[in-house]
Structure 1
Amino acid sequence: MSTFTIFFCGTSSNQRDYNKKHIFHQGELVSTLAKHASGIEYQDYLIVDGVGSGNETEFIKFSKSYYGGALAPIFGSGIASNMQHALSVVLGFPFAQTSEETTKRAKQLLQASRPAKYTLGGLGAITNSKSSAYNKWQQEVDALSQDLQAHMKALVARIKMAREKSPLTQVNLIGWSRGGVSCFEFANILNKHPMTNHIKVNIFALDPVPGGINPFKDYKKLGANVSHFVAVFAEDERSSGFKARMPELHAKTKFYTTFMPGRHGTLVGNAAEDGQEQPITHTMLSNPGYVTRDFAFKTLLSWGCQFKPNSINALTQDQLIGCYKIMLAKEQLFSKMQSKSYTKSTNGWFGKIDAVKRIKSTNEKQLNSIFTGLALQKKYKQNDIVNRHHFDVLMGNSFVVKGQLNAFPVSSII
């Protein structure tokens, strides 16, 4: 069995966010896990930058379209590009880069050094003659374009050889925010493609939010190709336009859902009391990020994703219980987050709505009854238990504590 893992970054987040310690206490979760993945990039794993993130690796993507500049975070511009890029890598015969395409990318990379195109004549009039500086710049563009083509061709050959030698039988998808919804979209793309519909898919979604305006086409319902589905939702997020999505699952899909205290960014490592960029203090709310990262790490390991030795330290049962004790002690601080908003307004009056109502689904019956981690949240709270994951840690379940897949799914009823 050959397993491939794709890390989808969230809106305005990219693969270098593991180093943004001023925003994410120990680095953003998805980019940090990707940084520590072992194996060969493109052959064993892939990390895809989020829309509006600066797109530092856009020039080597196997896709045509480009992101929508400053408005990309609002409209989600670039999702289609990400889907095409990921599919090309999975298929093993990526999108072919023409000289026109690589020249376009080379111009973008060298845009900052682009001189005036034409020379100035008498009295400052623009002539029809191209400046020598521009001609030199154009030569640099052409040389970079050729280098990009050579690099892409070598990469294509390597990917094709890897797929022929060891065809993919399983794809793991993990993503935050629009990256989480990208997991849903991509799982459906794989399910409908004749060359990939046999591949087993596992999904770990971190507060999957499609956005108030989004370009996703097929993300509300998942097919039978999804073997395991895990989702962690931000219990205290109430920003308008940040309603999370719980996709309708196939009857064969095994699932695990839970809430986690904090806001959208808290889940992936933001430790500030406002869930954004407030200076870190002694009251920082870091424990939801610790627990969620541990859960994602252990789950990916159970699905066959490999990490560099000693790169991430798994938490013990006692350490997890300790994290939850701190969360309980800071419950009021988490509740205050509900009045905060990334978009200046909240869902409900000052965010005072039920956490489940923040989650959208095409199958409300499934959302409110089958998904026990969400439906029983109030009962957990009444028993001084933070969430389903906390309950299962207390019970010593080997899936959440040790990442043993044979204990998935877990029946959690109080």
Structure 2
Amino acid sequence: MSVVTIFFCGTSSTRFDTNHGNYWNGELVSTLASHHTGREFADWIVIDGPGSGNLQADELFTKSRDYGLSGTLFGKGWEENVNHAANIIKGKCDWQREQLTEVEYNRLKAAGIPIEDVKVEGSWLWRKYNYGDRSVTQQALQEQIIRTFRKGGVIPTQVNLVGWSRGGISCHMLANAMYADSALKNIPVRIFAIDPVPGINNFQEQRVKLGANVKEYVGFYARDERSKGFSCVIPQTVSGTKTSIFPMPGRHATLVGNAAANGDSGPKVLAEPGLIVRHFAEKCLQRWGTPLSKTLNLTDVDLRNHSETIVKDAAKYKAMEKYSYTYFTELDQGERYVSLGSKGVPFSAVKGSIYAPASGLTTSVLDVAAYRNIA
């Protein structure tokens, strides 16, 4: 069996957030990726989120550009991220960075490698620099890694997806892109999503519905988030998809390791939600065939203690609701407003027999037994 795992970072988040100051023990998605014990590109990839600075542009399997602020505000660039991920699964790029960057040029020059001098074109005001061509592109190297080390052939037998925020929505988008692709349609997909938030005007069908290729969907949702424009998506799934959704006290970033009292920045105060979500992300991925190191391996006693601490700190989580990442808060009538598929509903309305457990987003954090559906 060949399993490829794809980690989608959230908006403005990157693979380097394992050491980000806002996360006391590393941001969850980047940390999980760093703990994968397989070979990058053959077994796994991690993709920076929209608005993160385009640090991976030279390595993508599809051409992208720097969207700047529009990446942060509107998610621009995530279509290219999804195309890149699909191409990685296929082991074939549709674009290559053939020219050297300035950093690469300077590194080769400093090492005494005989390469042509930089070419300068245009006037002093509109000057452009050509640093020469690469003898081998990053994409060609990565294609070779996939061909050599992906077990059982290039096309994997299973794909696992993990994502937070717009990275969670990217999981939905990729699963749907695979279902529409004859070469990838029959690959079973399993998704672990953490508070998937598309942003304003981004509730199109490919972001809020999932097809029959998704065999299991596990989602954790931030109960105390109230930021305007941060409505999360509980996707519409088909009858054959095992769907488990859980509420978690805290804000959008609390669930991926931000332990600040306001859910944004500050010292470690409320770490328990992030620990619980990380534990079950690890459990699901390992159950789905993703090899990981440095896992938490929480016991039922640990989970019970963390849950009781959360209940004890109920007033602190309630206080989070007055904060907003976007300055404005939602007129929520006492609870978060979410998108069930493409339909807006109150947080507590998302429950029913299609979910395991049926209590859905009304599940008590003290109900440790409810997690047995995913452990």
TM-score with structure 1 setting the length: 0.79
Change (3 A) 1:32 1:376: closer
Among 329, 335, 340, the residue aligned to 1:354: 335
Distance across 2 between alignment mates of 1:83 and 1:212? 19
Deviations 1:261-314 (A, max 9, x none): 00000000001111001x216xx1110001000010111100000013xx2231
- 1:150 equivalenced with 2:131 (yes/no): no
Distance across 1 between alignment mates of 2:207 and 2:37? 29
Change (3 A) 1:339 1:298: same
Which entry has the higher C-alpha Rg, 1 or 2?
1
Percent identity, please.
34
TM-score with structure 2 setting the length: 0.87
Distance across 2 between alignment mates of 1:299 and 1:197? 22
Distance across 1 between alignment mates of 2:65 and 2:17? 21
Change (3 A) 1:116 1:301: same
Among 275, 285, 292, the residue aligned to 1:290: 275
Deviations 1:297-348 (A, max 9, x none): 111100000013xx22311111111100110000011011111111111111
Matches within 5 A, 1:8-407: 8-20=8-20, 22-97=21-96, 101-103=97-99, 106=101, 138=130, 141-142=131-132, 145-147=133-135, 149-162=136-149, 165-166=152-153, 167-214=155-202, 218-277=206-265, 279-280=266-267, 284-308=269-293, 311-348=294-331, 351-355=332-336, 357-362=337-342, 367-369=350-352, 370-371=354-355, 377-378=361-362, 385-386=364-365, 390-391=366-367, 393=368, 395=369, 398-400=372-374, 403=375
Distance across 2 between alignment mates of 1:229 and 1:397? 13
Distance across 2 between alignment mates of 1:160 and 1:297? 27
Conservation of the 8 A alpha-carbon contact between 1:170 and 1:199: yes
Q: Which 5+ residue runs of structure 1 have no aligned equivalent?
A: 121-125, 404-414
Conservation of the 8 A alpha-carbon contact between 2:9 and 2:15: yes
Q: CA RMSD in A?
A: 2.9
* Count of residues in correspondence between the two structures: 359
Change (3 A) 1:280 1:196: same
SS at match of 2:98: helix
Which amino acid counterpart does residue 280 of structure 2 have in structure 1? F
Conservation of the 8 A alpha-carbon contact between 1:76 and 1:215: no
Q: Which 5+ residue runs of structure 2 have no aligned equivalent?
A: 107-117
Conservation of the 8 A alpha-carbon contact between 1:92 and 1:163: no
Q: Displacement of 1:102 after TM fit?
A: 3.1
Q: Displacement of 1:215 after TM fit?
A: 9.0
Distance across 1 between alignment mates of 2:102 and 2:201? 30
Q: Which structure has more helix as a fraction of its residues?
A: 1
SS at match of 1:219: helix
- 1:6 equivalenced with 2:6 (yes/no): yes
Please, which moves more after superposition, 180-189 or 336-345? Answer: 336-345
